[in-house]
Amino acid sequence: MKNFQIIRALSSKSAVSSIAKENSAMFIAGGTNLVDLMKKNVVSPDKLIDINGVDLKKIEFLTGKVSIGALAKNSQVAEDQLIKESYPLLALALAAGASQQIRHMATVGGNMLQRTRCSYFYNPDMPCNKRVPKSGCGAIGGANRMHAIFGASDSCIAVHPSDMCIALAALDATVFTEGPKGKREIRFTDFHRLPGNTPEKDNTLLDKEIITSIEIPNNNFTKNIHYLKVRDRSSYAFALISVAAGLDIKDNTIQDARLAMGGVAHKPWRLTEAEEFLKGKTVSEKTFRQAADLAMKGARSYGDNDFKLTLGPNAITEALTIAASK
């Protein structure tokens, strides 16, 4: 790892003003992804701004919503009793990610900003438009078993790796940020982006901006929910496909539905058309299968990941069936 300077910021304002003066500085929180990327020479900042001293760790239950600080640890959120009761889909998704050691280190904001695990991105000897713009994409025509089936481009077919973010996309969360030009709020589903011709940009965070918190509005998705994660081993592996499913069922009729997929696109993939289809329908596996088929419209595979075209609808059907049975 190339050496660097490190300074500690004690407020989000001082963190933003510290980074504003720098050309090659980065914020570091849990470091579980950034330190790894630095060891592999994927990123080599000259300076790190350690933001762990900033007071952004609180989980606050407010009227009609919960606010979670960007520096709250993944395990802290996953094991919070009120989160488990009021936002169980988020708790399930968090517990499905990484290992307990990593969840103790990783923060909510860092989880949102983690980079793809595409093996071409991680190998500086390989072409990768995300790492080096216009250097080509090794995964197209290469080893692409983990890669996207939705929203990819000729520049990049990498997928977003988070589990937490799939639940947050389904739960209509909002992201709060602070930067040199002030504070902003961004709809969670608008935070991550599709690759297009600029796959080097994972999200819509502006240069030198910092995530301060996220908010989730209260909802009725507390009982009939499930986070299904299909992976190569039963724990501690990235998703081949994951599904966050939430159903609001009264008298066997679906009042409202939430569905999002992970492991299939450059961003958490919300399945709004399938959600609309499910509203007002009676709970049945046939209905769930029809919703899954709707959700898969427009899917396209790249060779090694052809299996995702079959696994996808099966996973959606399974997740909805398990959610409905709870």
Partner 1 sequence: MAAKKSIKKVVEEDSNNSRRDFIKKSGLFTALAFTPPSLVMASDKKWDEKIAEYLETVPLSLEVNGVKHNLNIEPRTTLLDLLREQLLLTGTKKGCDHGQCGACTVHVNGTRILSCLSLASMQQNAQVTTIEGLSKGKKLHPMQEAFIKNDGFQCGYCTPGQIMSGIACIKEGHANSRDEIREYMSGNICRCGAYHNIVDAITEVKEGGMPL
Return residues touching partner 1 (CB under 8 A). Answer: 1-6, 8, 28, 31-32, 35-36, 38-40, 48, 50, 52, 98-102, 104-105, 234-236
CB of 9 to partner 1, least distance (A): 12
Nearest to partner 1 of 110, 199 (CB atom): 110
Region of residue 25 (left: phi > 0; alpha: psi -120 to 50; beta: else): beta
CB of 272 to partner 1, least distance (A): 32
Query: With respect to partner 1, which residue has the nearer C-beta, 36 or 304?
Result: 36
Minimum CB separation from partner 1 for residue 140, in Å? Answer: 25
Residue 267 and residue 193 in contact, taking contact as beta carbons nearer than 8 Å: yes
When the beta carbons of 117 and 289 are compared against partner 1, the nearer one is 117
Of the two residues 69 and 313, which places its CB atom closer to partner 1 in the complex? 69
For 134, the token pair is 């216009």
Q: Which of 149, 148, 160, 152 is nearest to 117 (CA)?
A: 160
Residue 201 burial class via C-beta count within 10 angstroms: exposed 0-12, middle 13-18, buried 19 and up: middle
What SS3 string covers 100-169? Answer: HHHHHHCEHHHHHHCCCCCCCCCCCCCCECCCCCCCCECCCCCCCCCCCCCCCCCCCCCCCCCCHHHHHH
CB 2 within 8 A of CB 44: yes
Minimum separation from the CB atom of position 300 to partner 1 (A) = 30
Contact assessment for residue 237 and residue 94, using Cβ atoms and an 8 Å cutoff: no
Closer residue to partner 1 in complex, CB, 59/194: 59
Of 32 and 224, which CB lies nearer to partner 1 in the complex structure? 32
CB of 1 to partner 1, least distance (A): 5
CA–CA distance, 268 with 270 (Å, rounded to integer): 6
**Least distance (Å) from partner 1 to the CB of residue 246?**
23
Q: Of 236 and 307, which has the nearer Cβ to partner 1?
A: 236
In angstroms, give the least distance from the CB of 34 to partner 1. Answer: 9
Q: How many CB atoms lie within 10 A of CB 196?
A: 14
- State which residue, 28 or 271, has the beta carbon closest to partner 1: 28
Least Cβ distance, residue 32 to partner 1 (angstroms): 5
245-248: which pairs have CB atoms within 8 A and are 24 or more residues apart? 245/170, 245/316, 245/319, 245/320, 245/322, 245/323, 246/89, 246/170, 246/171, 246/219, 246/221, 246/323, 247/221, 247/278, 247/283, 247/320, 247/323, 247/324, 248/219, 248/220, 248/221, 248/224
